[in-house]
Amino acid sequence: MRLPLNSIAHLLTDAVCAAAVFGPIAASGGDLSLCIVIYNSAAFLTQCLAGLMTDLLTRHERLAAIGLAVCVLGAYAPLPGWAAALIIGLGNCLFHVAAGTVTLKESRSAGPLGIFVAPGALGLAAGTLWPWLLPWFCAAALIAVAAMLVSGRGEAAFVRPAPARVPWGAVAALTLAVAVRAIGGCAADFPWKTGAGLSFLTAIFVFAGKSLGGYACDRLGPTRTALASVPAAALLTAFCAAWAAPALAGQLLLNLSMPVTLWLIYRAMPDSPGFAFGLAASALWPGTVAGMLINLSGAWNSALILVSFAAGLAAIIYAEKSLKEVRT
């Protein structure tokens, strides 16, 4: 019950936040670029610290509901744009870490994790493209908050597994790979993505990739899933981004590996689900910023994409091998 509820709440959280940034915050007259930086920094960079704190708790569903409620509050609070961006960013962070913790602690496989993380792509796209829908997003979000508060009554307390040796080399490699892969993702240019329809279609393919990635990981294993998806994704993104069909296929294949990476980080530290979930998100924003600052073209840009995706593939292979060595 909590997985579909939290997945819908994930969509609504990102929709509310994006619509608030590109709606009332953009209309407030402040520096929109600064507000976007503040929002993303609060939403992503703080997830690692938030994860450490949520791991001290035994129940997390109602905490996720509070995070979503904070996003709704920040969207309509009579505050300067930068302050509203900070509030919704922190609410976004709290929701993701708490709901992600619920998903991880109630899952015995990677499949549910992919289902939880995937809807965020749809929410982000919807809020960015249609910020005038903010009142409807907020109304739906408040219904989700109420449902999550009720759902929290039946949440089982988290039973922390016995401490085990953490393969920190694998954790570091996976975290760095998230940042490096974000650099490559920013390097891709999709000239065909010119309207709302194609932009949302891209989000649908991202959603599909993340949704399928967890189940592919369960069926094939992390390494085989990555080998089946990342090389093809790299080639399609590096050399076929100018055409919609192959580029969309590349986005689907690339995002198959997202829940795989997150699942491996969690398996490396199963007694710290909040920290594991937040660690990957904390690495995503710096990688995105670095990718936006790097300006390459032609063969150099293609090489950057190939190298960044290869780093992600190598990290998954290394991490699975390290986990097997630690557990035996």
Q: Is 221 left (phi over 0), alpha (psi -120 to 50) or beta?
A: left
Judge whether 2-154 and 168-327 match in fold.
yes
Topology of domain 2-154 in CATH is Growth Hormone; Chain: A; (1.20.1250)
CA distances from 268 to 21, 29, 173, 275 (A): 35, 45, 12, 11
The Cα 192–Cα 200 span in angstroms is 13
pLDDT at 162 over 80: no
- Distance, CA of 312 to CA of 264 (rounded, Å): 12
Q: Is the dihedral of CA 134, 140, 146, 147 positive or negative?
A: negative
pLDDT bucket at 290, cuts 50 / 70 / 90: confident
Burial of 211 from C-beta contacts in 10 A (0-12 / 13-18 / 19+): buried
Q: Which candidate, 107, 158, 81, 116, places its Cα nearest to that of 5?
A: 116
Listed by start position, the domains of the chain span: 2-154, 168-327
- Six-digit token pair at 264? 């491996």
Q: Taking the model in full, what pTM does it have?
A: 0.95
- Kindly report, residue by residue over 163-215, the tens digit of the pLDDT: 778 899 999 999 998 998 899 888 888 999 999 999 999 999 999 999 999 99
At 3, list the tokens: 């997985």
- Position 328 scores a pLDDT of 60
Rg of the chain over all Cα atoms, to the nearest angstrom: 19
- Indicate the CATH number for domain 168-327: 1.20.1250.20
**What are the angstrom distances between the C-alpha of 105 and each of 59, 101, 276, 277?**
10, 6, 11, 11
Confidence of residue 327 (pLDDT cuts 50, 70, 90): low
Helices 244-268 and 168-187 sit at what angle, rounded to 10 degrees?
A: 160
